[in-house]
Chains A and B, each alone.
Chain A
Amino acid sequence: MKNFLKLMLAASLLSLLGCVSAGGTLVKAGSSIPVFDMQVTTSLDWAKQRWGRFEIWTIDGGLLNELAIFSKVKPNENVFLGRRETKSRPDGVWYKPGLRQDELRDLILDGLRRQGLANVESSNLRPASVSGATGIRFDTKFTTAQGLNYGGTIMALERNERLTIFMWDAPLEYYHGRDVASVNKLLDSVKFVK
């Protein structure tokens, strides 16, 4: 997500640097908070910013750790929101309900590649189940155009023909190792409440 959300990040970083005064919110470690139609518990402190069906959470700034949450992605919509499928764009990373779990992973990985990330890899694909909604969780690695190596974890859940994605990444140097267990615990805590 390093570049896909650059514009939004630029705006958000300003607000995050300024103590999240421009609509951002602090999430305290140990709190359980609503996120769209879900409830999430975190053992880390985060600053978060929301745009429509999309939220970004970060601890140290978007380049050092970033949890992107995409909510209720609709059929034929880009898996990372934004554009929709049209006749002139039939082969994009459009979400289609009922894809197999590995196909959903491939779609998300293709979406990352389309953002210009290099050496995109995944591992440890495993099933995920949240409040009756089924989905997947898998780990990723990629390199940004600037040559920084990132690792992360992605969870994608299908519910009522809508897709929810949690996408966390951090530089493999220090930050990924520091937070990977806590982030996975956060993902374990996700519950649909609406």
Chain B
Amino acid sequence: MKSPFFNATALTLLSFVTCCVQAENAKPGDVTPIAAGYRPTLKTDESELWYIYDKIEINVKESPRLIRDPALNAYVRDVTCKITGDYCKDLRIYILDVPYFNAMMAPNGMMVVWSGALLRMQNEAELALVLGHEFGHYKNRHQLSQWRKAKKDSAFLATFGMITAGTGIDMAASLIGFANMAKFSRDKEREADKVGFEMLSRNGYDPFVGAQLWDRMLREEKVITYGKPLPVFASHPKAQERRDDLMAAAQALPNPGKKLDAEHYRSITETFLEKWLDDEISRRLFSTSLQALADMEPGYPSSKKGLFTFYRAEVYRRRNHDGDRAMSAKLYREAIGEEGAPASAWREHGLALKSANSRAEAIDALEKYLSLAPHADDMTFIDQNLKELRTTP
């Protein structure tokens, strides 16, 4: 999703930065970790960089993808504050409804977490690790050194193009995404990982969650046999190496913490589970969704089993490759016998039975669906199917 207006604004702002700021003598490496409460001095390249992100943040605040749920926002903020301490007041966290795994940090203290990441996290410890990693970029002012490096680079104009081109996901998300697409170096990612890991372990969280989270992401990445890498891999190179580093760091801790706080995490995010699963399968990245569902399900109690089986069935049905219809029909049948299956599982089971010409069973299933969802917005469509089942010889 590109916004010509915003691209023009960004380009103007960036041009302003390049022509007016006083940073000729600043080198990319001339940055020290940021102090709590820090604001850059006016008329420096850093203040202008913050100015750009302040403008971007206005768009993020108004984004239709912004999740405003008070409980979720309060929770993510609480975890952020728990791990960042005095820096908490300098950070603003925005949760965007984008069904991919990603989180981003802007140099001005704006942190963005995508819903696809929250869907995939299984506990508070994983959330703390991701937030801590992003905070690591902020604390070490990685964007500033990146910015200085880009301006000295002959590819600066190409960077302009990247920043103003958009990602196709959403204006606000895309601009931040592009800021991150100017990939951090391996050293900077490692540095951010170290900050995240330190915060995780210092707060008593289980330090092994880092390697576990990366393992799951790597599994998703491995099942993609086409197209572009997932956003998290586009901006984070050498994933396997970083996973191994996190594992080694966890193993080296003499008294590793055990805190996961999985139940608390689920109690906050569960409200969004069905919505986020709907969004997940709407991406039409079917192989990764199947992998993600397989990895997510063990993190939930058995009361959600029917829900996960239903969504696996949905992925097969929508993918519609050879054998997928039969697999989805089998899974719908399983789902309706399991705890937590949504009403839609009965609808899909009924429609699958109709396709298999099992009329009596199909009628029962569709009637069950209508009894469970008496105000279903597809009632006319279901009634038509029932009519066909009852009248067509």
Main secondary structure of the interface of A (DSSP, over half): mixed
Q: Across the interface, name the chain B residue whose C-beta is closest to A139.
A: B377
What CA separation (Å) do A106 and B378 show in the bound complex? 12
How many chain B residues touch A (CB < 8 A): the figure is: 32
> A113-B282, A145-B64 known; A124 and B377 CB under 8 Å?
yes
B65 proximal to A (CB < 8 A):
yes
| Given contact pairs A96-B320, A116-B169, A118-B64, A3 touches B285 in the complex (Cβ within 8 A) | no
Residue B393 is within 8 A (CB to CB) of chain A in the complex = no
Q: Is the CB of A88 within 8 A of B169?
A: no
A6 interface neighbour in B2, B170, B351, Cβ under 8 Å: B2
CA distance A106 to B384 in the complex (A): 18
Contact indicator B63/A116 (Cβ below 8 Å): no
How far does the Cβ of B8 sit from chain A's closest Cβ, in whole Å? Answer: 14
Choose one: A87, A117, A119, A122; the contact of B226 (CB below 8 Å): A87
B286: interface (CB < 8 Å): yes
Kindly state the separation between the CA atoms of A119 and B172 in the bound complex, as whole angstroms.
15
Task: Give the residues in chain A near B64, CB-CB below 8 Å.
Answer: 118-119, 143-145, 147
Q: Which residue from chain B places its CB closest to the CB of A113 in the assembled complex?
A: B282
B184 → chain A closest CB, angstroms: 26
Contact B284 A92 (CB under 8 A): yes
Chain A contacts for B318, CB-based, 8 A:
103, 106
List B1-15 residues whose CB lies under 8 Å from chain A.
Answer: 1-4
Bound form: Cα–Cα A146–B351 in Å: 38
With A and B bound together, what is the CA distance between A103 and B284 in angstroms? 13
Give Cα A126 to B380, complex, Å: 6
Is A12 part of the contact surface with B, judged by Cβ < 8 Å?
no
- B317 contact set on A, CB distance < 8 A: 103
Q: B170 contacts which chain A residues (CB < 8 A)? A: 116, 118, 145
| B3 touching A123, Cβ below 8 Å | no
B193 near A: Cβ within 8 Å? no
A89 pairs with B62, CB closer than 8 A: no
Q: Is A165 on the interface with B (CB-CB < 8 A)?
A: no
Residues of chain A within 8 A (CB-CB) of B62 are 147
Q: Answer yes or no: B38 CB below 8 A from chain A CBs.
A: no
Residue of B nearest to A101 (CB): B381
Contact B2–A3 (Cβ < 8 Å): yes
Count A interface residues, CB 8 Å. 36
Contact A100 B351 (CB under 8 A): yes
* Docked-complex contact A145 and B381, CB < 8 angstroms: no
Contact with B along A99-112 (1 / 0, CB 8 A): 01111001001100
Minimum CB distance partner of A136 in chain B: B381
A126 to B172, CA, bound (A): 35
**B168 in the interface (beta carbon within 8 A):** yes
Looking across the interface, which residue of chain A has its beta carbon closest to that of B1?
A116
Q: Does A115 contact B (CB under 8 A)?
A: yes
| Chain B min CB distance to A77 (Å) | 15
Interface mask (B56-90 → A, CB under 8 Å = 1, otherwise 0): 00000011110000000000000000000000000
Query: Which of these, A88, A96, A119, A124, contacts B227 with CB under 8 Å?
Result: A88
Interface pair A91/B286, CB less than 8 Å apart: yes
Measured between beta carbons, the chain B residues less than 8 angstroms from A117 are 1
A147 to B351, CA, bound (A): 36
Contact A116 B320 (CB under 8 A): no
Report chain A residues within 8 Å CB of B287: 91
Residues of A participating in the B interface, judged by any CB pair closer than 8 Å? 3, 6, 87-93, 96, 100-103, 106, 109-110, 113-119, 122-127, 136, 143-147
**What are 19 A-B contacts defined by CB distance under 8 Å?**
A6-B4, A88-B226, A89-B227, A90-B226, A90-B321, A92-B284, A100-B351, A102-B351, A102-B378, A103-B318, A116-B1, A116-B169, A117-B1, A118-B64, A118-B97, A119-B97, A122-B377, A145-B170, A147-B63
Q: Kindly list 11 other residue pairs between chains A and B, CB separation below 8 angstroms, not including A3-B2, A114-B284.
A: A90-B321, A91-B319, A101-B381, A113-B282, A115-B1, A116-B171, A118-B65, A119-B64, A127-B380, A145-B1, A145-B170
